[in-house]
Structure 1
Amino acid sequence: MKIYILHIVLFFCITQQLYSQDDGVVAFNIPSRNSLKFNRHFINPTFSFVREQNKYISFNNKREWAQFDNAPQTYLFSYSGRFRENIGAGVTLFQQDYGVLTTFGGVLNFAYNAVLDRESNLTFGLNLGFYKSGINEGNVITNSPEPSLENFPSNSIITINPGINYGTEFLDFGVSINNLVSYNLASSKMIEDDPEQGFQAYIMYTGYLNSRGFFDESRFSSLIRSEFQKDQTVISGMVMLMVPKGFWAQAGYNSLYTLSAGIGLNITTQIAIEYNYGKGVGGFSAFGNAHDITLAYKFENRNRYAYSGDDDEEGLLMSTTKKRKSNVNRRRSSKSTSSKKKKPVVTKNNNVNSDKVAEEKQVKLAEATRVKAEQEEQARIAESARIKAEAEAQAKLEAAARVKVEQEEQARIAESARIKAEAEAQTKLAEAARVKVEQEEQARIAESARIKAEAEAQVKLEVAARVKAEQEEQARIAESARIKAEAEAQTKLEAATRLKAEQEEQARIAEVARIKAEAEAQTKSAEAARVKVEQEEQARIAEVARIKAEAEAQAKLEAAVRVKAEQEEQARIVESANAKAEEEAKINEILLDEVLIKFKKSTESSKNTQQKLLNKLSEKVAAKQQDLNDLIKENDLSEKGIFSAPKAFKSVSAENNAIEALKLEIDNSIELRNTKITEIESLYKERLKKVKSKDDLVNIEYLNVIKALKIEQLQAKNIKKNLVSTLEDIKVATDFERRRRIKRAAYDNENDRYNKDRATLERIKKFTDLSTEPLTKQDFNHGEELSNIQIVKDVNNVEEGYYLVVAVHIDVSKRDEFLKKAVAAGENNINFFFDVNTSKYYIYYEKFDNIGQAKSSLDTNKGSKPYNSKMSMVKIEN
C-alpha cells in the first residue's frame, strides 16, 4: 500500500512543528514576525497596548515556501487595540496548514498598564490560546485505505504566553515566555519537550523625524529581539518608517527563518493594506520565498490616550481635508527630541552589523547540528515503533492461541485442566523457539517466521475442519436417535439413555484422539523448525517441501469442500427420510399433545433459519481464508522475483461490517431458541401437574424434544465459537502477511538483485549502439511522473545526495528499454538505483551534494534532451 504525499513541505514542517513523541502534537507558533504595524501582540502580549492609540480589525494571510505545493499557510482574523486609558485587548482566530496537517483555534489577549511616572510605564500582558490539530483528509492522496492515517490522533491544546513591558519616553524593554503552559486536553496531561517553548527579550526604540517636507513628523521604530529556546537561540530585528501622508516601509531579519521587506499604505484614513516579502536564510534558504499580506480597518478614536504611538495619518489614495488635531504641537517637541536621540541608536546598529558574519556562522552550525540530531531522533523513533509493532503482533499471536485453548475447554474439569497444562507447556516451547530464532542471523528471521505462520495456519485449518466434521457427525447421530425414538415409542427412553452414554463415550474418545493428534502435529512442527534452523544450507530441499505442503493443503481444502457437498447430500436424504417418517407418524400424532405438535413445527422453522445464518458465516470465513491464501501466494511469488497483478480492491470495512451483522443475527437466533427451550420446559412442568407419571408417552416426548433442542443449541454455539475463533486466527495471519509483503524486499536475495542489476546496466552500455536517427520525447517512456522533491530513505549501495531522476519504473523490461534508448541517444552516464520500500527503479545521470546545485541544474537542463523532459529531484537519506 503506497501513499503519495509528494510534498517535501510535510517533512520539514513536521521536523519543525511536531514534538519527538508518538501523539502528533503541533506546537503553538504564529509566524507574525515581519510587521511592526499589525498583530503586534503575537510579538509580546503587551503590544496590544504599548504605543497604541486605536482599535483595528485585520485579516492576514501568510504563505511560506511559495514554490512548493501545499506549502505552510497561516490565516489570521483579529480584533485588537487600545480600549481604555490603561487597558488593551484583542481576540484572534487562526488556521495553519502544514501539508496534510491543519491547526485551527483562537487567542484571547489582555494587557494592563500601570503608570509609574510621567514618562515611565509598566505593562503586563497575557495571550491565552486554544487550538485543535489533526489530519486534513482533503490533502491526503492514497490509492487504498491507510490505517496509519486513519489512526492519526487529533489533539486539543490550551497554551498560556505571558509578557511584561517597561516603557520610557522613547524606549521599551520587555520579556515574554512562549508556551509557558501547554496542556493537551486529549491526553489530559501537560506537554513536555515543546521545541517552541522559550524565553524572549527585546528592546524597542520609537522616535520622530523633525524635518520639512514629505517626511516631516515621520515615525521611526526599531526592535531587536532574542529568543532563547531549548535547542537554539534566534536573533531578529525590525525597523519601520511611517510617513504621516499614509505610507510606511519596514525591513527585518531573523537568523532562523528569513530576511523580509514590506510596504504599507492607507487607502483611506481608516482602511489600510500591507505587504511583506520574505527570503529564506540558513537551513531554509533553498525553500523559496514567503508572502505576507494584511488588510485592516481602523476604528476612529475620539479619545487621546497618553503613552501612545499612533499619529495622525492621511489616506494616500483617498485624501481628506480634515485638519490635524490640536495636540500636534504638543507632540512635536517630543519628536524633535526623539530625532536627536536617534543617532546613537543607528550607530549601535552599525556596530551590531559588524559582528553578524561570525554570529551567522555559529547559528548555521548550530542549526545543522540540530537538524542532524532531529533526523537521528526520528530514525530512532521509527525503529522503536517497528520493534514495538513486531512485539505487539507476537503478543497477539500468543494471546489468540491461549484464548482458543481456553474456549475449547470441555465440561469435564479434569480434562480441561490437562488441556490447559498442555497449552501452557506448548506456549513455553513456542516462546523458547522464538527466542532461539531471534538470536540467529537477521537474514533467517523473516523466513523462520513465515514457515512458523504457515504451519500454525495449517494446523488451525485442520483442527477447524475436524471439529466441524465431529459436530456434523454428532448432529447426524442425534437426528437418527430422534427418528428412532418416534418410531419406537415404547423403548425410546432406554434407547435415548443408551445413545447418550454412547455419544459421551464417542466424544471422549474423539477428544482424546484429537488432543493426541494435535500434540503429534505440534511435535512434528517443532522438529521441522529445528531441522530448518540446523540445515539452512539445504534451502532448495526446504523450498520443495514447502511447495508440496501447499499442494497438500490445497488438496485438503478441496477434500473438505467435497466432504461438505457429500454431507449436504446426506442431509437432503435424511430430510427426505424425515418427511417420510412424518407421514408415517401422522397416525401416532393423535396420541401426542396438540400443544407439543404445534411447538415442534414452530421450532423447526427457527432451526432452519439459524442453520442458514451459520452457513452464511461459514462462507464468509472461507472467503477470508481464500484472501489470506492469495496474499501468501503473492508474497511467495514476489520473493522469487515474480510480480503478480494486484487483486481488485475490496472494502475490508464493509466485509467486516457484514460479518458482525451475521454474528449479531446468529446471537439473536440462539437467544430465540433459548426462549423456546424455556417455553417447552414450562409446558412440561404444567403437564406434570396434570399427568404426574413420567412413563406417560407424551411426557417422554416432552423430555425428548427438550433434550434435542438443547443438543442443537449447544451445537450451534460451538459452531459459532469455532467460526469466530477461525476468523481471529485468519486476521492475525493476514496482518503478518501484510507486514511481510511490505518488508519482502529486505530478504537475503537483495545482494543478488543488486549484482544482477549492475551486470544488466554494464551489458546495455557495452552492446547498445548510437541511434542513426535522432530520438524524440515521444520515444521515451518515463513511467511514474514525480513532482517537486521526493525523499527516498535507506537505499543500499547508493550514496546520499540529490539525484536528478529522468524516469521511474517498476517493470524491469520497461526500465531496460529506457536505458537502451538513453544510451542510444548518447547518454553514457545513465544509471539507476532501486528503492526496496516501493520496488521502484529510479533512473538518473546527474547527482549533486547540495540542493542549490541540483536545483540550478534542474532549472537549466530540464527538457534540453529528449530523455530528460520529465526530470525531477529525488533526495536519498540513508
Structure 2
Amino acid sequence: MKRLLLLILCICSVQTYHSQEDGDGVVSLNLPARNSLTFNKFNINPTFSFVREQTKYITFNNKREWVQFENAPLTYFGSYSGRFAENIGAGIGVFQQNYGVLTTFGGLLNFAYNARIGRSNNLTFGLNIGAYKSGLNTGAVVTNFDDPSLQNIPDNTVLTINPGINFGTDYLDFGISINNLVMYNFTSSTLIEENQEQSIDAHVMYTGYMDSRGFFDESKFTGLLKTDIYEDKTIVSAVAMITVPKGFWFQGGYNSFYGPTAGIGLNITNNIALEYNYENAIGENANFGSSHDFSIAYRFQNNKYYDYSPQDEVTSILSKNNKRRRRVVKSNSKKTKTSSKAQTKLTENKKAEEAINIAKAKAEAEALAKENEALALLEQKKKEEQIKQAQLEKIEADKKAQEIADKRAEIAELQKAKEEAEAQAKLLAEQKAKEEAEVQAKLLAKQKAKEEAEAQAKLLAEQKAKEEAEAQAKLLAEQKAKEEAEAQAKLLAEQKAKEEAEAQAKLLAEQKAKEEAEAQAKLLAEQKAKEEAEAQAKLLAEQKAKEEAEAQAKLLAEQEEAKEAVETESKIDLIENPTDELAISMKAIRTSTDNSKDYQNELLDRFNEIVEIKDKDLKSLKEENDLSEQGIVVAPRPFKSITAENNELNAIKKDLDKVIISRANKIEELTALYNERSEISEYVLDEVTIFYKKEIDKLNNEQQKTKALRSQLNEKLETIRIATEFEKRRRIKRAAYNSDEDQYNQDRATLKNIKQTTKLNESVFKPEDFDYGEQLGSNISILKNIKNVESGYYLIIAVHSDKKRRDEFLTKVVSAGRTDIDFFHDVSTSKYYIYYEKHTNISDANKALKTKGNRPYNGKMSIVKIEN
C-alpha cells in the first residue's frame, strides 16, 4: 500500500503547472478552508484527516466571502471525516460554490496513510480527489438583452487531484501539498493545462499544551504557518488556536491576500459543536467587505485511543466537570510488549484512580442532596409568606373596590340630573331658534325677489348696449377693410410695373455681355491653337533625338549583357553542377533549406493571421465594453470558443519551432562543409566558395529575421491574451455584477444625454404620439424601498419596463419643451416611472392633478406614493 501511494505521488509531481483561467466556463477547485484548525482540515492538506486526529466528525459549513459585493463567492460544504484506523484517515465531502455568474457542484474524496519512521516520527501521505460540474449560474445573470457569449458557455465536468505529504514529530509537523496538480475535463476530453488556482502549499504546524494553574491550565495550543506559491503570486498566512478546557476555543490569524481573521467555537454538548470565523478584507479587496464562516459539527464518541495524537477528553459548556484530561501516546506502528510487573502496576494505578473518582462522586452527590434539601425548606417558607401576603392584599383590594363603586353611583346620579337639565334647556333654545329662523327666512325672501328684479333690468340694459356697440364696430371694420383693399391693389400695380422695367434692363445687359464673351473666346482659341502647334513640333524633335540615344544605349547594353550572360552561365554551371564531393553535399543542403523556407514562411503567415484575428477580437470586445460603460447599449459580438483556435495556434508554433531548428542545423552543417572546402587551396577563391559564403550569410540573416518575427508575434500574442482576459472579466463582471448603483449611474447618464442632445420640435404633438406604457388608473399606487428617491407623492405620466420605449418617450417629452422630466426605477418589478413633479402631501398632489392642463404627454397622469 505504501509503495502504491509513493508511486502515485511521484507520477503527479512531474506534472507542469500554469496559471490562466479557461475561456469556456471551467472553474478551478478552490475551497476557502483557510480559517479553521478544528473542522475540515483535510482541505488545507490531504494528510490532516489523520494528523493530530482521534475522532470522526460530520460537519456542515457555510462561507460567504466579501459580503458588500453583490453575487459574492458563496460556499456550502458538508463532510464526514476523521481517524478510521491506527494508520488511516479519510473523509468524504459534498460542496457547492457560486462565483457570480459561475457555479460548481461536486464531491471530494480524501484518503491519508501513515508510515512510522523510528519511535517518535511519522510520515503521512494524503490525496484529495475532487469531481465536480462547473458552468453558468443563469439565476445570477441580469441583462437587458440576450448575450450569446453567456449562452454559449458550456457546462464542464472536471476531475482534479491534490496530493500531499506530512512529516511529524512529537510537537511539530512539516508538510507540502499541490493544489489542482492534475485537472481533466470530461466534457472536452482534454487535460487542462492553464489553471489559475494551481499552487504549491507548504506548512509548519506546532501542537502543545499549557502547564499553568490559572484559567488556561491544560489548554491546547495549535499554530500553523503556511505559504501558497502560485505562478504569479505568493500568499503567506498564519493561524493560531487555543482550546480551553471549559468547552470552547478561539483562534486568530492573518493572510497576506485575504487579511486578518478571528473566530470562536464552543461545544454545546459533548457531541455537538459550533464555530464562527470572521475575516476582514484588506488592500485591493477592501472594497468588497468582510467574510463570514459558520460551521456546525457532530462529534462521534471515540472508545479507542490511537497512536500519534493526544487523546483530549471532550468537554462542553453544559458539563459540570470541565477539567481536561489528556493521554499522549507516541507514534508506534507495533506495540511493544510490557513486562508483567509494569502491567500489574498499571492495573493497580487504574484501580486506585477509579476508587478516587468513585469516592469523589459520592461526596459530591451527598453535598448536592443536602443543598437540595435546604433549598426545598427555603422555598416552602417563601411560598407560605407569599400566600399570607396575597390574602392581605385581597382584603385591601376589596375595600378599595367598594369605595370606588359607591363614589361611581353618586357621580352617576349627579350626571343624570345634569343631563336632564341640559336637555330641557336645549329644547327651549331649539324652539326659539326655529321661530327666529322663520322670521329671517321671510325677510330674506323679500330681499332676494327685489335683487333679482333689479338684476334682470340691469342685464337687459347691458344686452342692448352690447348689441349697439357690436353693430357700430362691424360697420367700422367693413369701412377699414375696404380702404385697405384699395391701397393694396394700388401698391401691387406699382410693384408690377417696376419689376417689368427691371427685367427688360437686365435682359439687354445679359445680351451685350454674351456677345462680348463670344468674341473674347474666339480670340483666345486662335491664340491657343497656334501655341499648341509650336509645342507639338518641338516635342517631336526632342522625342526623335531621345529615341536615337536610347537605341544606341540599348545596343551597348545588350552587348554587355551577352558578355555577362556567358560568364554567369559558366558560374551557374559550376555551382549547379559541382564536381567535387563537398560542393555536391553543399548543393543538397542548400536545396533542402530552400524547400523548408517556403514552409517556414507559410507557418509565419498563418501565425500572423491568427494573431491579427485575436487582436481584432480584442478591439471589438474592448469597444463593446467601453460603449456599455458609457450607457450606450450595443448588440454583443457573437461568442466563439477559443479552444480550437488555440489548438491550431499551438500546432503552428510547434511546427514553426521544428522548422527553425531544422534549418539552423542545416545551416550549421552547410557552414562546416564550407569551412572544410575553403581550407583546400584549390577551392579557396573559386566561384562555388564565393557563392556559398554569400549564401550562408543570406541564410543566417533570414534565420535572424525569422526568430525576431517569431518573438515579436509571441510578445504581441501574450499582450493580446492578457488584455483579452481583462476585457472578458469586464464583460462577465458587467453581466454578473451590474449592481443597482451601476444601473442608477447608467440611467442618469442616459437621461442627461437625452436632455443635452434633443432639439425642440416646432410641430405640435398629439396625445396619440406618446406611448404611455402601463396605465395605473385613478387609484393611488404605493411603492416602498425605492433607492435614490425621496418619499412623497409623484405625478407619473408614463410607466415602462423596456428601456428603449422609456427613452423614446423621454425624447418626445423633451422635444415638446419639458426639460425637467425625470424617472425612477422599481427593482422589484423592473419598471421605470416617469414624472416631472413631486409633492409632500396628498392635497397638493390632487390639486396639481386637477390642473394638469391639456399637454399631450399628460394624457394618462396618475399619482404614485413612495414610502421609504
TM bucket, shorter chain? 0.3 to 0.5
Report the TM-score, using the length of structure 2 for normalisation. Answer: 0.39
